[in-house]
A and B are shown apart, each in its own frame.
Chain A
Amino acid sequence: MIELVNVKKVFNAGNPSEFSALNSVNLRIAENQVTVLKGPSGSGKTTLLSIVGCMSRPSAGRVKLQGREITSLPERFLTDIRRKTFGFIFQQPNLIKGISVLDNVMLPAYPLGEKRSHLKIKAMNGLSELNIANKAASKVEWLSGGEAQRASIVRALINDPHIIIADEPTAHLDTKLSYRFMEIIEKFKAEGKTVIITSHDPLVYESSMVDRVVNLRDGQIEG
């Protein structure tokens, strides 16, 4: 379970351009559920997601993961948690150009030093599950939008994370691919993973598989 207590995030603190992205957010995200953070642009969805995913620290407040306070941990511990606990699916596929799909997918596992042959099998299985195994050796710039999105999903799963975090995953997908994405999410849920998605796409937050929708506006939770 993830718990946020009185979380605040201020950008450019002390400057004339100071901007408060999150204001006293209190939130509990249950395990093995699909939670959607919904809200208009600038409501603080991505900021909240990055704090939950240990990518950035709150300016104030505490974040607990499975009851363990993680806010004050040094960067390398946070990185370790991020690597082992979370799988990230970004709005853009964020794949590294110039290297193959397979290499991109294996990237998050490099710092763990897993044996290459095992890692390759794991990556190929992931690509097969999302029907892009035939693109393994292709360079990422040759992929279509949907294929790139699927490659980034396989990359998010390579370290077998318990929690999947997806930031506006359908923003650049057409309706058909968006449905396909939601099917993948359903599969994650069936496997017992926790999924947190930010979206203002009705196709996502109105989906039957979503357990909870959290509304955000002006850096605060509504309702």
Chain B
Amino acid sequence: MRNWIEKQRYIIDFTISSLLRRKVKNFGLLALYTLIVFILASTMFFTYAIKKEASLILKGAPEIVVQKIVAGRHDLFPASYIETIKSIRGVASVESRLWGYYYDSLVSANYTLLTPPSSDAAKPSAKTTVVESESGGQSARPLYELNGAVLEPGTLIIGNGVARLRNIGKDDYMPFRAFDGKVMNFRIAGVLSSQSELVSSDLMLITGEDFRKLFGIDQSHVTDLTVAVNNPSEVEMVASKIKKHLPDARPIIRDEILRTYDSIFNWRGGMMIVIFSAAVLAFVIFAWDKASGLSAGERREIGILKAVGWETSDVIQMKFWEGAVVSLTAFFSGVILAYVHVFFTGSIVFEPALKGWSSLYPNFELTPFVNLEQLTTLFFLTVVPYTVATIVPIWRAATIDPDSAMRFTGE
């Protein structure tokens, strides 16, 4: 047993020295290999973590959102519908919402203006008010956090992205052009916490009264409704009842929003992989050639080793370790670099493609979520093919007669 262990040590030592002897080739290969793993792992880490993050945040979202649809287009929601929905069995509470998009031509950005539920904005003593729906589970993230700011008529609380883009902060003023062309000036009462920036980057909180003045909405209308349901298993049933009672209403359940987020980031991640698939293919061809081909020097070396008493299996083992050392080093370096890139540097390399194309990039740090299944897939798609490719020379090495070493006439 000791001899066997010692033999393995000798073979590994020789493999490492053999790798170092072909420094340029092997380091070049390692660098390229690491880069490919880095790109794939970065995309994987990012899309998985952002989906996870979004789903955690959306856990706190209302179970059902009800909008009004006119000829397939979103329209203002009549406040009179509220009572109809409240009367549906299984509905715990109904709350109206006022929100809308405002295009700021100065910076070419779209803001989301939202009137927070009256109970949240009216807490002057709150240091941080976490706005969550009642159904939010323990692991749910808040939709936004008010850092002790008090929302009063004539004021706004803005998201971090808006603050950065307009270079404004607390007590600054921000002008808006209302629906009737009049200019409305709002004082910034505060900036939202950066923790929820993934969804609150472009958000602006405004009082209901100001919102109605800005968008020209009368008291008999709201933007949409949120509906809380007593029993989570009845959500779909309640949604279908709403649709039955109010044919022009469109109930959107939380799971549908989650699915949309999932497909958006899957699509972006997939697109990144498609773009880089050409690079991956080029690498596969390069790696296959390098791994499976034996140079004249290597053939000569194998001939010498066999002539001095190495078995074919020893040579195979050495080649296997060569492949394993290169591919495992590349895999782990690539994965570690990708982890640092995504979770510590905010994916600086792929930021625009993965986060979205917009003037208002959310500036947030992702919580590290790693999917083991994806990592295993990446492992089997990178390490295994390369290592197998290095095994191919086994058959070639096996065909080299040890006496070929005797017939070399030149060094």
Question: Interface of B with A (CB < 8 Å)?
Answer: 2-7, 9-11, 14, 17, 20-21, 301, 304-314, 401-403, 405-411
Given contacts A92-B411, A94-B304, A97-B21, are A111 and B311 in contact (CB under 8 A)?
yes
Given contacts A82-B402, A90-B406, are A113 and B2 in contact (CB under 8 A)?
yes
- Stretch of A22-30, A102-110, A184-192 contacting B (4+ beta carbons < 8 Å): A102-110
- Stretch of A32-40, A49-57, A121-129 contacting B (4+ beta carbons < 8 Å): A49-57
Interfacial chain A residues near B405, Cβ < 8 Å: 90, 94
User: Once the chains bind, are A111 and B402 in contact (CB under 8 Å)?
Assistant: no
In chain A, positions 114-156 with a C-beta closer than 8 Å to chain B are: 114-116, 155
Chain B interface, DSSP helix/strand/loop, else mixed: helix
Interfacial chain A residues near B308, Cβ < 8 Å: 83, 88, 107-108, 155
Interfacial chain B residues near A113, Cβ < 8 Å: 2-7, 10
Q: Does A68 make an interface contact (CB < 8 A)? A: no
Q: Does A170 make an interface contact (CB < 8 A)? A: no
How close is A134's CB to chain B, nearest CB, in angstroms?
Answer: 22
Q: Does A99 make an interface contact (CB < 8 A)? A: yes
Which partner residue on chain B sits nearest A141 by CB separation?
A: B411
Residue of B307, B401, B406 touching A46 (CB-CB under 8 A): B406
User: Once the chains bind, are B406 and A55 in contact (CB under 8 Å)?
Assistant: yes
Q: How far is the CA of A116 from the CA of B20 in the complex (A)?
A: 21
Q: How far is the CA of A46 from the CA of B408 in the complex (A)?
A: 12
| 7 nearest A-B pairs in the assembled complex, by CB-CB distance | A83-B309, A113-B3, A113-B7, A98-B21, A50-B403, A110-B10, A55-B403
Q: How far is the CA of A221 from the CA of B100 in the complex (A)?
A: 103
Q: How far is the CA of A53 from the CA of B307 in the complex (A)?
A: 10
Besides A79-B311, A90-B405, A92-B411, 11 new A-B residue pairs in contact (Cβ under 8 A), listed by A number = A50-B403, A55-B307, A75-B312, A79-B309, A91-B409, A92-B409, A92-B410, A95-B304, A98-B20, A108-B308, A114-B3
Interfacial chain B residues near A93, Cβ < 8 Å: 411
User: Once the chains bind, are B7 and A112 in contact (CB under 8 Å)?
Assistant: yes
Interfacial chain B residues near A155, Cβ < 8 Å: 308
User: Once the chains bind, are A99 and B309 in contact (CB under 8 Å)?
Assistant: no
- Ordered by A's residue number, 19 sampled pairs between the chains whose C-beta atoms are within 8 Å are A46-B406, A55-B307, A55-B401, A55-B403, A82-B402, A88-B406, A90-B405, A93-B411, A96-B301, A96-B304, A98-B21, A99-B21, A107-B308, A111-B7, A113-B5, A113-B10, A114-B6, A115-B6, A116-B10
Given contacts A91-B409, A114-B6, are A107 and B403 in contact (CB under 8 A)?
no
User: Once the chains bind, are B14 and A94 in contact (CB under 8 Å)?
Assistant: no
Q: Considering residues B304, B310, B313, which has the most beta carbons from chain A within 10 angstroms of its beta carbon?
A: B304
Which partner residue on chain A sits nearest B304 by CB separation?
A: A94
Interfacial chain B residues near A76, Cβ < 8 Å: 311, 313
Q: Considering residues A76, A111, A116, which has the most beta carbons from chain B within 10 angstroms of its beta carbon?
A: A111
Q: What size tier do the contact residues of chain A reach? A: 35 or more
How close is B136's CB to chain A, nearest CB, in angstroms?
Answer: 63
Residue of B2, B11, B312, B410 touching A110 (CB-CB under 8 A): B11
User: Once the chains bind, are A88 and B11 in contact (CB under 8 Å)?
Assistant: no
Q: Does A167 make an interface contact (CB < 8 A)? A: yes
Interfacial chain B residues near A167, Cβ < 8 Å: 406
Q: How far is the CA of A99 from the CA of B402 in the complex (A)?
A: 21
User: Once the chains bind, are B7 and A110 in contact (CB under 8 Å)?
Assistant: yes
Encoded as 1 (CB less than 8 Å from any B CB) or 0, chain A from 47 to 70 comes to 001100101100000000000000
User: Once the chains bind, are B307 and A56 in contact (CB under 8 Å)?
Assistant: no
User: Once the chains bind, are A82 and B309 in contact (CB under 8 Å)?
Assistant: yes
Interfacial chain A residues near B402, Cβ < 8 Å: 50, 55-56, 82
Q: Does A159 make an interface contact (CB < 8 A)? A: yes
How close is B24's CB to chain A, nearest CB, in angstroms?
Answer: 12
Interfacial chain A residues near B313, Cβ < 8 Å: 76
Q: How far is the CA of A56 from the CA of B402 in the complex (A)?
A: 7
Interfacial chain B residues near A90, Cβ < 8 Å: 307, 405-406, 408
Which partner residue on chain B sits nearest A54 by CB separation?
A: B402
Q: How far is the CA of A41 from the CA of B298 in the complex (A)?
A: 28
How close is A191's CB to chain B, nearest CB, in angstroms?
Answer: 20
How close is B150's CB to chain A, nearest CB, in angstroms?
Answer: 74
Interfacial chain A residues near B409, Cβ < 8 Å: 91-92
User: Once the chains bind, are A91 and B406 in contact (CB under 8 Å)?
Assistant: yes
Interfacial chain B residues near A99, Cβ < 8 Å: 17, 21
Q: Considering residues B10, B20, B405, which has the most beta carbons from chain A within 10 angstroms of its beta carbon?
A: B10
Q: How far is the CA of A129 from the CA of B338 in the complex (A)?
A: 55
How close is A154's CB to chain B, nearest CB, in angstroms?
Answer: 12
Given contacts A91-B406, A103-B17, A110-B14, are A56 and B401 in contact (CB under 8 A)?
yes
Q: How far is the CA of A167 from the CA of B405 in the complex (A)?
A: 11
Which partner residue on chain A sits nearest B314 by CB separation?
A: A111
How close is B252's CB to chain A, nearest CB, in angstroms?
Answer: 67
